[in-house]
A and B are shown apart, each in its own frame.
Chain A
Amino acid sequence: MKKLILWILTAALCLTACASALAAAGDRTLVHLSTVDGYMNAYISNVFLTEDGVAVYMNGMESKLVVYREGEEPAEYLMEEDEITNVPDEDGEEGSFISSYTQTLGWFTWQGNMYAVQYRSTSEGENTTVEGGFVKKARLEDGRVKLEDCDIPQLDWTYMIEEWGPGQQSSRGLNRMTVTGGMLVGSSWDNSGSNVLEVFDLSTGRAEEIPMQDMDSIFPGTEGTLLMTRYEWSENPIEYIIRYDLAAQSEEILGSVQLTDGQVQGICLDEKNNTLYMAMNGEIRAARNMDLENTEAVTDCPLSYDANMLLLEDGRILLWNQNAAVIRNPDPAARGETFTLTVQDMVYSENLSDAVYDFTDARGDATVVLKRGGLTSGILQAMMNRDAETDIYTLLYDSSEFDALRKRGFLADLSGNAALSAAADRMYPFLQDALKQDGKLTAVPTGLSGSAIGIHHDVWKKLGGTEEELPRTWDQFLDWLGTLPEKVDGTEYGVFDTWMDRESFRSNMLNILLNQYQSLLNEGEMDYAFNTPLLRGLLERLDSLDYDALKLAEPHYEEDGGMISYDGETYREPLLDIYTDVTLETWSGAAQPLLLSLEEGREPILPVRLSVAFVNPYSEHAEAAAEYLALSMKNLRKNVVYSLYTDQKEPVRDPYFAENQKQLTQWLEEAKAQLEKDEDNRAMWEENIRMYEENIADNEKNSWMIRPEAIEAYEERTRWLKILSYDFAGAMTSADNGGGDYYTMVWGYAQQQVSAQELLSGIDKKVQMMRLEGN
């Protein structure tokens, strides 16, 4: 008997433990459209509540409605094809058509039904006209969304039609559609581009446009009202929460929030409990009894930027924006045994925000609060205080703070996490050297980039140049530059982009040279000084280039400080590109970095700026933090992944490649078929066929996201890649406090007002002092 009771008790205990482990009950990610591939295949344009669930309307390759019902698999309903008609024009010229298409602008629910708002755009000859405001009732059946006519009259679309040219009309968008008090309300803009509220009476179709200045966003309120946020910018920005009465067109300020970082992303009012929920800075905060001074963080908000918020029947909150829709439970009691991982992301890493979804779904017992921005100086102080509040930080590898943390041992050891260790071992040596200290992994990358001057090899070939002729050192490069104006003369190519001006060129070159030189100094072989004959010589040569021959014009400055550098010359395809990235590039038109060394006999250096994430050694959730970082590594963009790991050899196709090929092949087939039937227009069809075949071949050759040639080229140059570490010259920008500004010197040099000698000795003076002080 005793044993039975014991079993029952144990079972009960297990069950409750399970329940609390699945705590924050009901937290779910419904949809997360990640941008891992660098492309957004689809985006969420509307989310609304249906009778039995949540409907997400996605636009993209295919427009579809996905409905999430509790306890069921998400049900997909494809939209009917957009109504496109192509009718021969009786009255117009021979062979002209009147074509029209109907587009769904958005969705709303009212009185238990779903409605779509559509407009139709008709093109007749030169003119395009728009008719709008068609409301169709939506019925979900057999995996399709069927739109039917309904009782709601056509909405007066006058305010929504925009004339952007003579006879050219288009429809404005209607954002954040919501129904309140029998009115459909959305935000749009007027002819002068200012924010307006569009209000449509659903019983009469009457429209009204109400100007709304400084309106941040609108959110649904109770009957006849809207909630709005208004952002007031100042040194201490304030966000106002306003209740707007549609009928009376009056505002009532419910309160305001003092913002320290970030903005209020979304709000949602729980009338029953008189609580206002606000999504900001990675969390959802609750203002009980509308007390905006004392808000309480109740759960996390993984969405970055905008967030729309809807209150579900059971009190949970639905958050959505363009690429994600999640449900969160704001009831602190439901949290149970959860802990919060706090991440301070100072370098705005995409992969970290994507990883939030994965992490919270995988672990029911943790939430992630992802904060962006913040002061880097705060990190060192937090370390001195043994502050455990933030678990993960991100910084630039070459920042002085990271350097100090690294040297003083304030980075937690991540080697214990198998996934991270394995990932690190697969990385190129130049990365491993930077990320490991004494064999221990202390940081993981979140992004990397590096500037170099690049050359379009195909253009060089077309100009008759060969590989051997390309310069190997900077001196040779400057010589070679002198020969280029002659080479491009008379061709359709130019040396640089038409819009490149002298100042930008000089300041970028200086940047590249300084970075390379800094890397060289960091190796410790040379005396640590900037004002050396080597560097000075190069900069002085840069001074004496014939800029006019290179068609690098002086920029013109506007009265108000704006800059114009494009002279209105015809576009010439450039040979050289000064903004070339040394990491793996993803589009086909990119230039390849020129491998230039600082002097004869030295190897070329391609400096890379790395941003890293690391774990606070005082963190109380170090293991979970490492797990989170492991997930973040999975969410890195493809080109970053290819830049990091040595084992990535497979070229990657453009995501639209398959679709395009299918479409083209289909048209090819149709054209071929037409060729048989339509003898009269034989020439036209043959032309079309040729065109399609050419396109297909072209696609096959060029439609890559990561080209095989790019992979090869990158692999080759990894020998020369070096991670930039703490940069004295760059550190000067933060160390300066009055009297001699680094930026004015650099800009002065770019404007040819400060000589190379002055610039370098100025840098040297401060750098020497900083070095001698020690750290």
Chain B
Amino acid sequence: MRTGKRFQLRLARALLALLAILMLLPMVQTFLYSFSSIPEMKAFMKTRGSRDEAAWMEAHLSPHILSLGQYEQILIKDHTVLGYFINSVGYAAAILFGQALIIPALAFGLSKFRFRGREVIFFLILILMLLPFQVTMVPNVLTLRFLGMLNTPWAVVLPMWFAPFYIFLLRQYMIALPDELLEAASMDGAGPFRSFLRIVLPVCRPVLGAAAALSFAENWNLVEQPLTYLSSRPELMPLSTVFNQLAGENTGFEFAGAALYILPALLVYLFFQEDILSGIQLTEMK
């Protein structure tokens, strides 16, 4: 029985290792490819789509010549990619900023106050979470146009400030917080706002970190909203919408662009990993 268990363990670990490699491989490959020179990449990408039964695309696990050519291209020579990157950064920052102001407050209101209709509102928010973008696309365009925000960055940023998923996440976490905390605070004479700032938020740190990281992941990868709301202002597009074009044109530096784009997400991930884990663990998932 013992060997059985150890064998099982070994097998499990082996499989998991394989899985882990598969999970990480795309990113690793992107980074590797980003260090090849541009002509090398162009030639490599040209071998795509070949119907030749005899030939395979080379695995190209490492560049023949280690070169910073791609990075040079996008960082120094041609600033278009950088421009889009900065747009992405702008959007991410603006969205996170607004969300930070609005969503914790809303979640707090929906969890720690008792009032009629609370459950109804929450239920409605839950429903909204389920709908894909296209469902509210058209009326949103009209609303935004009415507000004069269409074709401005606000069109992309503003609706994201009220994304239902994070309201859900935070609210579930806050509901699990013991009431004693708040009672203690109010006995000390703190009103709801102070309790919110001084007690609730610090306690919620893990889930706030998790929500921030997840939100970042989502808005770093925005595609549909910019394409719909910013259709006549291509210069405002974030980098996520541009990749297809870059790869299609076989510019040679799409991997550096991808690497550059993955990098912040990677950093966010590493930094907030623990928070995400603990945040999810402590959230009531009912």
A contacts, CB < 8 Å to B? 235-236, 375, 377-378, 381, 385, 737-739, 741
Contact = CB atoms under 8 A, between A and B. Distances in A.
| Residue of A385, A738, A741 with most partner-chain B CB within 10 A | A738
Contacts of A739: 244
Interface in B205-244: 227, 231-232, 234-235, 244
B10 interface: no
B248 A738 contact: yes
Given A385-B145, A738-B244, A738-B248, A235 B235 contact: yes
B235 A377 contact: no
A685 B234 CA distance: 71
Contacts of B245: 738
Nearest to A740: B248
Contacts of B145: 381, 385
15 contacts: A235-B234, A235-B235, A236-B235, A375-B232, A377-B231, A377-B232, A378-B232, A381-B145, A385-B145, A737-B227, A738-B244, A738-B245, A738-B248, A739-B244, A741-B248
A773 B122 CA distance: 37
Interface string B245-259: 100100000000000
A738 B232 CA distance: 17
A567 to B, nearest CB: 29
B38 to A, nearest CB: 16
Contacts of A385: 145
A236 B234 CA distance: 11
Interface in B22-73: none
Per DSSP, chain B at the interface is helix
Contacts of B234: 235
Interface of B: 145, 227, 231-232, 234-235, 244-245, 248
A49 B36 CA distance: 66
Given A377-B231, A739-B244, 9 more contacts: A235-B234, A236-B235, A375-B232, A378-B232, A385-B145, A737-B227, A738-B245, A738-B248, A741-B248
A104 B219 CA distance: 67
A154 B124 CA distance: 88
A236 B245 CA distance: 21
Contacts of A378: 232
Shortest 7 CB-CB distances between A and B: which pairs?
Answer: A738-B244, A235-B235, A375-B232, A738-B248, A377-B231, A236-B235, A377-B232
B282 to A, nearest CB: 41
A235 B231 CA distance: 15
B255 to A, nearest CB: 18
A329 to B, nearest CB: 33
A566 B48 CA distance: 33
A739 B191 CA distance: 57
A385 B234 CA distance: 23
Contacts of B227: 737
A378 B231 CA distance: 11
Contacts of A235: 234-235
Contacts of B231: 377
A597 B145 CA distance: 49
A737 B248 CA distance: 11
Contacts of B235: 235-236
A741 B234 CA distance: 19
Contacts of B232: 375, 377-378
A235 B233 CA distance: 10
A737 B227 CA distance: 10
A322 B222 CA distance: 50
Nearest to A741: B248
A38 to B, nearest CB: 36
Contacts of A738: 244-245, 248
A738 B245 CA distance: 7
A385 B145 CA distance: 10
A231 to B, nearest CB: 18
Contacts of A737: 227
A163 to B, nearest CB: 40
Contacts of A381: 145
Contacts of A236: 235
A235 B235 CA distance: 7
A375 B231 CA distance: 11
Contacts of B248: 738, 741
A277 to B, nearest CB: 29
Nearest to B234: A235
A691 to B, nearest CB: 60
Nearest to A385: B145
A381 B245 CA distance: 27
B251 to A, nearest CB: 14
Nearest to A384: B142
A208 B245 CA distance: 50
Interface centre among A235, A375, A377, A741 (most CB of B within 10 A): A235
A385 B142 CA distance: 9
A675 to B, nearest CB: 72
Contacts of A377: 231-232
A378 B234 CA distance: 15
A381 B231 CA distance: 13
Contacts of A741: 248
A741 B245 CA distance: 11
Q: Which of A236, A377, A381, A739 is the most central at the interface, judged by chain B CB atoms within 10 Å of its CB? A: A381
B133 to A, nearest CB: 16
A672 B145 CA distance: 80
B153 to A, nearest CB: 14
Nearest to B235: A235
B237 to A, nearest CB: 11
A537 B231 CA distance: 40
A507 B231 CA distance: 31
Nearest to B244: A738
B226 to A, nearest CB: 13
Nearest to A378: B232
A377 B231 CA distance: 10
B156 to A, nearest CB: 18
Nearest to B141: A381
Contacts of A375: 232
Nearest to B236: A235
A737 B245 CA distance: 9
Contacts of B244: 738-739
A381 B234 CA distance: 18
A236 B227 CA distance: 19
A739 B248 CA distance: 8
A280 to B, nearest CB: 20
A622 B46 CA distance: 56
A739 B244 CA distance: 9
A232 to B, nearest CB: 15
A738 B247 CA distance: 10
Nearest to A236: B235
Nearest to B247: A738
B125 to A, nearest CB: 30
B27 to A, nearest CB: 22
Nearest to A375: B232
A76 to B, nearest CB: 50
A235 B84 CA distance: 13
Nearest to B150: A381
Nearest to B231: A377
B214 to A, nearest CB: 27
A214 B247 CA distance: 35
A518 B234 CA distance: 32
A485 B248 CA distance: 41
A658 to B, nearest CB: 52
A574 to B, nearest CB: 37
A385 B148 CA distance: 13
A377 B232 CA distance: 9
B151 to A, nearest CB: 10
A738 B244 CA distance: 7
A737 B244 CA distance: 9
A738 B246 CA distance: 10
B78 to A, nearest CB: 14
A737 B232 CA distance: 15
Nearest to A744: B248
B248 to A, nearest CB: 7
B39 to A, nearest CB: 14
